[in-house]
Amino acid sequence: MSERVNVKKKSAPDAGTKVLEAKVDAALPALGPKEMLRWAWTQLTSMRTALFLLLLLAVAAVPGSLFPQRPANPAVVTQYIKDNPDYGRLLDSLQLYDVYSSAWFSAIYLLLFISLIGCVVPRAIAHYKAMHSQPPRTPQRLSRLPEYGTLVIPARAGIPASDAIHGAARLLKKRGYRVEVRDDGGARPSLGAERGFLKEVGNLVFHTSLIGVLVSVAVGGLFGYSGQRILVEGDTFVNTLVGYDQFNPGTNFQSSHLQPYSVQLDKFDITFDRESEGKFGQPIDFSAAVTTKENPDAPARQETLKVNDPITLGGTSIYLTGNGYAPVVTIRDGAGNVAMQGPVVAKLQGDNYYSSVVIKVPDAKPDQLGFAGFFLPTAFVTDEGVSFSGDPELFNPQLTLNSYYGDLGLDEGSPQNVFELDVQDLTPLNARNLEAGGITLAPGSSYTLPDGKGTISFDGVKRYIGVDIHHNPGQLYALIFALLAVAGLILSLYVNRRRVWVRTGTHEDGRTMVEYGLLARGEDHRLAGEAAALRKLLASEWQLSQDEPADASSPTTPAGPSGPEKDQ
Partner 1 sequence: MPYGINETMGQYSELFMLLAAGTYTVAFIAFAWDLAKSSKALRAVDLKAAQAEEAARVSVGAAAGSRGESDLAGPADRAERPSSSAGRGAGAGGAVTADADMRYAAERRAPARVAVALTILGALIHGAGVVTRALGAGRVPWGNMYEFLTTGAFVAVAVFLLVLVRRDLRFLGTFVVGLAIIMLVAASVAYWTPVGHLVPALQSYWLIIHVSIAVLSSALFTLTFAMSALQLVQSHREKTVAAGGTDKLGFMRLVPSALSLENLSYRINTIAFIGWTFTLMFGAIWAEKAWGRFWGWDTKEVWTFVIWVVYAGYLHARATRGWTGTRAAWLSIVGYLCVIFNFTIVNQFFNGLHSYSGL
Q: Which of residues 495-524 bind partner 1 (CB under 8 A)?
A: 519-523
CB 253 within 8 A of CB 275: no
* Residues between 55 and 94 with contacts to partner 1, criterion CB under 8 A: 55, 57-58, 61-62, 64-65, 69, 71-72
* Residues constituting the chain: 568
Burial of 312 (0-12, 13-18, 19+ CB in 10 A): exposed
3-state SS track over 404-423: EEECCCCCCCCCCCCCCCCC
CB of 276 to partner 1, least distance (A): 4
CA distances from 19 to 10, 39, 358, 443 (A): 15, 17, 82, 94
Stretch that binds partner 1, among 34-42, 259-267, 373-381, 477-485 (CB under 8 A): 477-485
* Residues between 337 and 376 with contacts to partner 1, criterion CB under 8 A: none
472 binds partner 1 (CB under 8 A): yes
Stretch that binds partner 1, among 45-53, 165-173, 365-373, 424-432 (CB under 8 A): 45-53
- How many angstroms separate the CA atoms of 303 and 321, rounded? 17
DSSP bridge partners of 402: 372
556 binds partner 1 (CB under 8 A): no
Q: What is the DSSP letter of 300?
A: P
Neighbouring CB atoms inside 10 A of 339's CB total 19
CB of 228 to partner 1, least distance (A): 10
- How many angstroms separate the CA atoms of 23 and 30, rounded? 11
Q: Which is nearer to partner 1, 98 or 183 (CB)?
A: 98
Stretch that binds partner 1, among 6-14, 183-191, 252-260, 289-297 (CB under 8 A): 6-14
Task: Please select the residue that binds partner 1; options are 20, 103, 241, 479, rule is CB under 8 A.
Answer: 479
- How many angstroms separate the CA atoms of 470 and 474, rounded? 12
Query: Which string of x and - marks every residue 126-165 that binds partner 1 (by CB under 8 A)?
Result: -------------x----xxx-------------------
Task: Please select the residue that binds partner 1; options are 92, 294, 422, 468, rule is CB under 8 A.
Answer: 468
- How many angstroms separate the CA atoms of 169 and 27, rounded? 53
CB of 463 to partner 1, least distance (A): 15
CB of 288 to partner 1, least distance (A): 12
- How many angstroms separate the CA atoms of 189 and 138, rounded? 10
**Closest C-alpha among 114, 131, 126, 150 to residue 40:** 114
118 binds partner 1 (CB under 8 A): no
271 binds partner 1 (CB under 8 A): yes
* Residues between 377 and 416 with contacts to partner 1, criterion CB under 8 A: none
CB of 273 to partner 1, least distance (A): 5
Burial code (b: 16+ CB inside 10 Å, e: under 16) for 398-426 equals bbbbbbbbbebbeeeeeeeeeeebeeeeb
- How many angstroms separate the CA atoms of 310 and 289, rounded? 12
Task: Please select the residue that binds partner 1; options are 235, 245, 273, 459, rule is CB under 8 A.
Answer: 273
* Residues between 195 and 234 with contacts to partner 1, criterion CB under 8 A: 217, 226
283 binds partner 1 (CB under 8 A): yes
Stretch that binds partner 1, among 339-347, 356-364, 420-428, 554-562 (CB under 8 A): 554-562
For residue 464, the surrounding DSSP H or E stretch is: strand 454-471
Q: What is the DSSP letter of 353?
A: G
481 binds partner 1 (CB under 8 A): no
262 binds partner 1 (CB under 8 A): no
Stretch that binds partner 1, among 1-9, 179-187, 432-440, 501-509 (CB under 8 A): 1-9
DSSP bridge partners of 317: 312, 470
Total site size for partner 1, rule CB under 8 A: 79
Query: Which string of x and - marks every residue 428-447 that binds partner 1 (by CB under 8 A)?
Result: --------------------
